[in-house]
A = this chain, B = another copy of it.
Amino acid sequence: MREITVLTHRLPDETRDTLARLVKEAARAGVTLRLDEEETSKHCLQAGPGLEVNAPVKDDVELCIVLGGDGTILRALQLYTGTQVPVFAINFGAIGFLATVERGDVDDGIRRALEGDFELLRLPAIVLDLDGCAQTAINDVAIHRKVGERVADLAYALQDEEVGSVRCDGLVVATPAGSTGYNLANGGPVMAWGVEGFVVSFIAPHSLTARALVVAPGDRLSIHNRSREPLDVAVDGRPAGEIPPGESIDARFARDVGTIAQLPGSTFYRRLRDKFGRLAS
């Protein structure tokens, strides 16, 4: 039996019609859509042809369809980290950099998703060792001073060689997919999907010499908290823990951690231009 997970963003009114449409087409195609407890309740769903409600997340589905923006897509990618399940996203968000099709192409998008008419792109991740527990960032890891504390004192090293140390608001480690987010806000470069490396940039560094550094994929990054207070760690924009004062955490690059569906012939560069416009124009 063909099974597909569906995730939608937090405003069910916006996705309701598309979801109904998707259920209808899935039933017709002999596919069962699985929506978990939260989705079931959010959309007041009842089981029926092509629809399994209150369905626990499981890894052996053929696809994960997202109706949402980059936040929901990241959640889906996180959910299927380490599996081969592709995430096929219809953009219901503001930017939707990771989306497969735009909201205006819903009909075509549903058809393609159900027929498997798409290409796969494997995405790398940053793997963080936080208190002995591995956390995976598809986009970025952000280290941030706590509110009320005026400034963080942060250092980082690569292969045990300290490269940067400065008073700042924080530090961001981004994959190529995440480079157009918080990293860009710090003056970091745009990195095309397919670049083998990840980028480290400081948030508001009190220094004249701050510059983003693109790290080689095999190199271990250590981030050291020199502040008197713990620092907050966020993974893909969600709170993930703390670095206590005087302590360090390690991060490394990992290939092929998530999978997104793409339209045939789509490139990062077209996506960049469609979403951001030209780099200089």
Contact = CB atoms under 8 A, between A and B. Distances in A.
B206 A192 contact: no
Contacts of A219: 192, 194, 269
Contacts of A278: 162-166, 209
Interface of A: 146-148, 150, 157-159, 161-166, 168-169, 176, 179, 181-182, 184-197, 199, 202-219, 232, 237, 239, 267-270, 272-273, 276-281
A185 B205 contact: yes
Contacts of A232: 147
**The 4 residue pairs across chains A and B that have the minimum distance between CB atoms:** A194-B216, A147-B147, A196-B196, A195-B197
A185 B168 contact: yes
A209 B206 contact: no
Contacts of A191: 197, 213-214
Contact of A281 (B161, B166, B280): B166
12 contacts: A148-B239, A157-B269, A166-B278, A168-B185, A176-B216, A179-B214, A184-B206, A185-B204, A189-B199, A189-B211, A191-B214, A192-B213
A93 B4 CA distance: 57
A79 to B, nearest CB: 20
Contacts of A195: 195-197, 214-217
Nearest to A194: B216
Contacts of A188: 189
Contact of A208 (B168, B184, B269): B184
A277 B163 CA distance: 8
Contacts of A161: 267, 269-270, 273
B209 A166 contact: no
A196 B197 contact: yes
Contacts of A184: 206, 208, 211
B193 A280 contact: no
Contact of A279 (B164, B197, B273): B164
A182 B277 CA distance: 22
Nearest to A166: B280
A186 B128 CA distance: 27
Q: Which of A207, A273, A276 has the most CB of B within 10 A?
A: A207
Contacts of A176: 214, 216
A210 B190 CA distance: 11
